[in-house]
């Protein structure tokens, strides 16, 4: 009986010790669980916040896109149009500080003949053709007295050579007979000459006499319609509409810059939108290639590292990286740009 009584306290002590051990073991487990739960909760909160932020960013982007679309859809006021048009001209002046007429000429007579020959062909082909023509017939008197068949043969590469021969020989005779062998500097006199319209007259007036004029060729007309300066398609109406957006003093250089841009970047079929410096101002952005790397491959002339259209370009063009065009029959120099 004594033994049993003695064993009882020992048993109780052992049981208490076991409970204490269990409690001690359970405490860290509980602590770990609590830490894990807190960490998990923090992670979930962070993920939720990131998801929420992403969602907000996406919403903001959609909202912004809608806002831009809405702004684009709103009609542009006359004042806003004038400001945008003039800003485009300023931007183009920075991109093409060397813009110039892309026909080779040394005097008003050569420019007049070259401009008439440029109809339905490239300035490059005209520039490759006129050296031989002007070497043989340097003055209006010489050309007026020429053998038509010989003139036709010399200008054949420009196309429509029979009609063009008639025009340039006719204007040469008119200069000889009515203007003392000199090219007149007035619009009303120039348009009376055979084969000379307003476009040709403005080219001559602006570049041979320094008198302001807008040259509406295919490039000019295409770009001003893309930019929503006008919706007119008739050259005379385009000239009037665009002329009202700018002071007269800007007209000649504006023409050069727009034509330069149309030949180098804003092409008819594949405009290089992704490489265009005035893309933010252009309502037609997206009609062409928008990827910058792909668009870069569409650039022409000095912008793409290729020869220009003049055999004798201005020094400013050469300084800007422009390459002279090769003479007729010669191979073009390889591209030096990307």
Predicted confidence (pLDDT) at residue 239 exceeds the cutoff of 60: yes
307 strand-pairing partners: 323
**Count of positions (residues) in the chain:** 338
What pTM does this model have?
A: 0.77
The pLDDT of 7-32, averaged and rounded, is: 46
Tell me the chain's radius of gyration from C-alpha atoms: 38
pLDDT above 60: residue 12: no
323: β partners: 307
For residue 13, what pLDDT is reported? Answer: 47
Q: Give just the sign of the alpha carbon dihedral 143, 149, 150, 155.
A: positive
Segments of the chain assigned E as strands: none
Reading the block at residue 144, the tokens are: 């007026």
Q: What integer is the mean pLDDT of 270-292?
A: 97
- pLDDT classification of 25: cutoffs 50, 70, 90: very low
- Is 242:217 a contact under the CB 8 Å cutoff? no
pLDDT at residue 63 tops 50 = no
Q: Which residue has the tokens 């979930």?
A: 44
Instruction: List the Cα angle 260/288/241 in 5-degree steps.
Output: 50
Flag whether pLDDT at 29 surpasses 60. no
Specify the pLDDT at position 330.
81
For residue 333, the model assigns a pLDDT of: 64
- Residues annotated as catalytic are 199, 217
By mean pLDDT, which of 52-61, 103-112, 137-146, 147-156 is the weakest?
52-61
End-to-end CA distance of the chain: 109
Extended beta strands in 49-192, E state: none
pLDDT at 182: 97
What pLDDT band is residue 1 in, cutting at 50, 70 and 90?
very low
246: left (phi over 0), alpha (psi -120 to 50) or beta: beta
What is the predicted pLDDT for the residue at 152?
98
Crossing angle of the two packed helices 108-117 and 198-208, in degrees rounded to 10: 150
Average pLDDT of the segment spanning 179-187: 96
Q: How high does pLDDT run on average in the chain?
A: 85
Q: Residue 43: which pLDDT band, with cuts at 50, 70 and 90? A: low
Distance separating alpha carbons of residues 171 and 174, to the nearest angstrom:
5
At 295 the pLDDT is 98
Give the pLDDT of residue 167.
97
CB-based contacts of 237: which residues, under 8 Å, 6+ apart?
230
pLDDT at 11 over 60: no
Q: Which two tokens stand for residue 16?
A: 């208490």
Kindly tell me if the per-residue pLDDT of 55 is higher than 70. Answer: no
Q: Averaged over 53-67, what is the pLDDT?
A: 40
What are the tokens at 271? 């405009």
For 212-220, what is the mean pLDDT? Answer: 96
Residue 122: the pLDDT is: 95
Is pLDDT at 331 greater than 90 in this prediction? Answer: no
Residue 323 in 3-state DSSP?
Answer: strand
Of residues 275 and 45, the one with the higher pLDDT is 275
């Amino acid at each position: 009986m004594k033994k049993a009584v003695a064993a009882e306290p020992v048993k109780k002590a052992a049981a208490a010790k076991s409970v204490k051990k269990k409690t001690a073991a359970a405490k860290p487990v509980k602590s770990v669980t609590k830490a894990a739960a807190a960490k998990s909760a923090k992670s979930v909160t962070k993920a939720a916040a990131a998801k929420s932020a992403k969602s907000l960013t996406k919403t903001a982007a959609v909202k912004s896109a809608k806002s831009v679309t809405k702004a684009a859809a709103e009609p542009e006021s006359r004042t806003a149009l004038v400001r945008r048009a003039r800003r485009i001209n300023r931007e183009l002046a920075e991109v093409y500080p060397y813009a110039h007429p892309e026909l080779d000429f040394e005097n008003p007579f050569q420019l007049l003949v070259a401009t008439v020959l440029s109809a339905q062909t490239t300035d490059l082909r005209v520039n490759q053709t006129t050296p031989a023509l002007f070497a043989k017939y340097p003055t209006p008197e010489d050309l007026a007295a020429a053998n038509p068949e010989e003139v036709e043969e010399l200008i054949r590469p420009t196309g429509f050579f029979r009609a063009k021969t008639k025009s340039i020989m006719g204007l040469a005779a008119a200069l000889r007979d009515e203007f003392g062998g000199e090219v007149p500097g007035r619009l009303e006199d120039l348009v009376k000459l055979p084969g000379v319209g307003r476009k040709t007259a403005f080219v001559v007036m602006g570049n041979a006499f320094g008198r302001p004029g807008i040259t509406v060729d295919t490039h000019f007309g295409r770009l001003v319609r893309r930019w929503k300066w006008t919706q007119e398609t008739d050259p005379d109406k385009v000239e009037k509409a665009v002329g009202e957006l700018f002071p007269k003093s800007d007209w000649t250089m504006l023409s050069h810059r727009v034509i330069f841009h149309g030949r180098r970047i804003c092409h008819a079929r594949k405009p290089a939108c992704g490489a265009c410096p005035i893309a933010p101002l252009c309502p037609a952005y997206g009609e062409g290639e928008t990827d910058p790397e792909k668009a870069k491959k569409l650039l022409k002339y000095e912008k793409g590292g290729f020869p220009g259209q003049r055999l004798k370009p201005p020094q400013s063009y050469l300084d800007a990286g422009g390459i002279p065009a090769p003479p007729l029959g010669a191979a073009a120099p390889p591209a030096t740009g990307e």
